[in-house]
Amino acid sequence: MSKWYPKNGRVIFHVDMNSFYASVEMAFDPSLKGKPLAIAGNPEERRGIVVTSSYEARRYGVKTTMLVGEAKRLCPDLIVMQPTFERYRTASKEMFKILANVTDVVQPVSIDEGYMDITGCHEQGSPPEIAEKIQNRIQKELDLPCSIGIAPNKFLAKMASDMKKPMGITILRKRYLPQQLWILPIEEMYGVGKKTAEKLRKINIKTIGDLASHPVFELKNLLGINGERLINRANGIDDRVVDPDAVHEFKRIGTSTTLAQDTTDDLEIRQVFRRLVNKVEARMKNKSVLAKNVQLTIRYHDRRTVTRSKQLQDFIGTSDELFQMAVELFDKHWNQTPVRLLGVTAQDLAEKSEVTQQLDLFNYEQYASKEKLYKVIETLTEKYGKNTFRTLKDSTDHNVTTSFQKDFLDDYKK
């Protein structure tokens, strides 16, 4: 057993659920199994973008972020469903409970993946045996497939879990890097996006092995501090620990939406901003945080994307304040061409309890004049839900609107 548990090293798992949303829907409705299935934001509109797809659909070329229309052209028999986030959230919670039964050192990183440090789990068997038990239990109890990477650090575990899907278990040791990791195209390296890969290929870095042996100073000149980090990763160096509390450490809260049609209509754009900031405000209140920076994202009709942000003198947290900053940034940076996507992100966050707001006379009058209104709205919202003044008919909670929302990732501990 000592060969599996080194005295001065660690044993890290990366557990990655396979085609998670589609797999959950198949577990819920077994008649979907074996069929090409895609989960999309809105199947009936152009903004319906594929969030994930089953492996049967992927064989036809259906990919994440592909428009629904394009996916259906590739796969005429494609079944397209809207996401049911509460269903996914429940499955995620149960999956992490299974991981937590093995070790307390579990770090969720998204709804469908997480790290485990099993260094202290000698009595439960070898790492491959533990991984197989986890995989089999998730399959048996939740009817969901997963892949597990086993390695001495988080980066290598993440790379290993991607090497065999679905239902794979892969061991990646540092001494096996030349045979297993370095032969892979640079685009397959975790942490290397499309633009970074293009830059690296221009200097003849085509594989992860090319990156591992490249001079550090040249990469730092090209990519800054990230260049040195990528070289370390390519050489299997990663000293990050598996941190169960990392889910509570966040620096931004944001949301975005693809418009039904490209638009230059100022009123429509402002209505979109209002919906976005309402969602951001709700999540900020849930976390009891305030922001000192607001970032705007604009994607144009030609898919060109720009981000602009503004650092503020005071912390803010209301939808009105977020809306004002978003519109100000938009009016300043919009190039007057049709807009496809808009996003608003609150950044530089701090706990409300840690923020001492020093109000000048103007801010005080502005805040005081609205304080009673804010209290009335909050009271009505707590009693009846959102959009109190529009309707009291629908009290269903629609707050969970994206897989990237991490507010619930510690639910498995409850």
Comparing C-alpha atoms, which of 168, 81, 153, 143 is closest to residue 119? 153
- Residue 51 inside a domain? The answer is yes
- 229: buried, middle or exposed (CB in 10 Å: 19+, 13-18, 0-12)? middle
Domain finish residue from 317, 339, 358: 358
- Per-residue pLDDT tens digits for 192-204: 988 899 999 999 9
pLDDT in the model for residue 360: 42
| Same-domain status, 260 and 348 | yes
pLDDT in the model for residue 398: 38
| Same-domain status, 229 and 254 | no
| Same-domain status, 260 and 354 | yes
| Same-domain status, 191 and 270 | no
Domain finish residue from 169, 199, 234: 234
| Same-domain status, 188 and 274 | no
| Same-domain status, 297 and 218 | no
Helix, strand, or coil here: 57? helix
| Same-domain status, 279 and 188 | no
- Residue 114 inside a domain? The answer is no
Dist. CA 230–CA 215, nearest whole Å:
12
pLDDT in the model for residue 180: 97
| Same-domain status, 301 and 255 | yes
Q: Select which of 56, 113, 281, 321 is catalytic.
A: 113
Q: Tell me the Ramachandran region of residue 34: left when phi exceeds 0, alpha when psi lies from -120 to 50, beta otherwise.
A: left
pLDDT in the model for residue 307: 93
For residue 308, give the amino acid letter. Answer: R
Rounded (5°) CA angle 336-340-341: 110
pLDDT in the model for residue 149: 98
- Residue 156 inside a domain? The answer is no
- Residue 46 inside a domain? The answer is yes
Angle between helices 216-223 and 225-234 (to 10 degrees): 130
Comparing C-alpha atoms, which of 158, 162, 181 is closest to residue 235? 181
pLDDT in the model for residue 362: 42
- Per-residue pLDDT tens digits for 350-371: 877 656 444 443 444 444 445 4
| Same-domain status, 194 and 229 | yes
Query: CA-CA distances (angstroms) from residue 315 to 97, 103, 318, 360?
Result: 37, 39, 10, 13
- Residue 244 inside a domain? The answer is no
For residue 77, give the amino acid letter. Answer: D
DSSP classification of residue 45? S
Compute mean pLDDT per 10 residues along the chain, 414 residues long, and list them. 77 97 97 95 68 95 90 95 90 96 93 94 93 98 98 97 96 96 97 91 97 95 90 96 77 89 94 95 87 94 91 89 96 95 91 53 45 51 45 36 54 78
| Same-domain status, 262 and 225 | no
pLDDT in the model for residue 408: 67
pTM of the model: 0.68
Q: Provide, rounded to the nearest whole percent, the portion of the chain with pLDDT above 90.
A: 65
CATH number, position 41: 3.40.1170.60
For residue 201, give the amino acid letter. Answer: R
Name 61's Cβ contacts closer than 8 Å, sequence gap at least 6.
74, 75
Q: Is 112 annotated as a binding residue?
A: yes
Q: Across the strands, what pairs with 350?
A: 290
- Per-residue pLDDT tens digits for 90-120: 999 999 999 999 999 999 988 899 999 999 9
pLDDT in the model for residue 399: 41
| Same-domain status, 343 and 260 | yes
- Residue 159 inside a domain? The answer is no
For 274-303, b where at least 16 C-beta lie within 10 A, e where not — what string? eebbebbbbbbeeeebbbbbbbbbbbbeee
Report how many domains make up the chain: 3
**Active-site residue, 94 included:** no
- Residue 289 inside a domain? The answer is yes
| Same-domain status, 270 and 321 | yes
Domain finish residue from 85, 107, 129: 85
Which strands form 339-351's sheet, in the order they lie side by side? 252-263, 339-351, 289-300, 305-316
CATH number, position 254: 3.30.1490.100
- Residue 267 inside a domain? The answer is yes
pLDDT in the model for residue 390: 37
pLDDT in the model for residue 144: 98
CATH number, position 206: 1.10.150.20
Contact 94, 100 (CB under 8 A): no
Range(s) of the domain holding residue 226: 182-234
pLDDT in the model for residue 368: 47
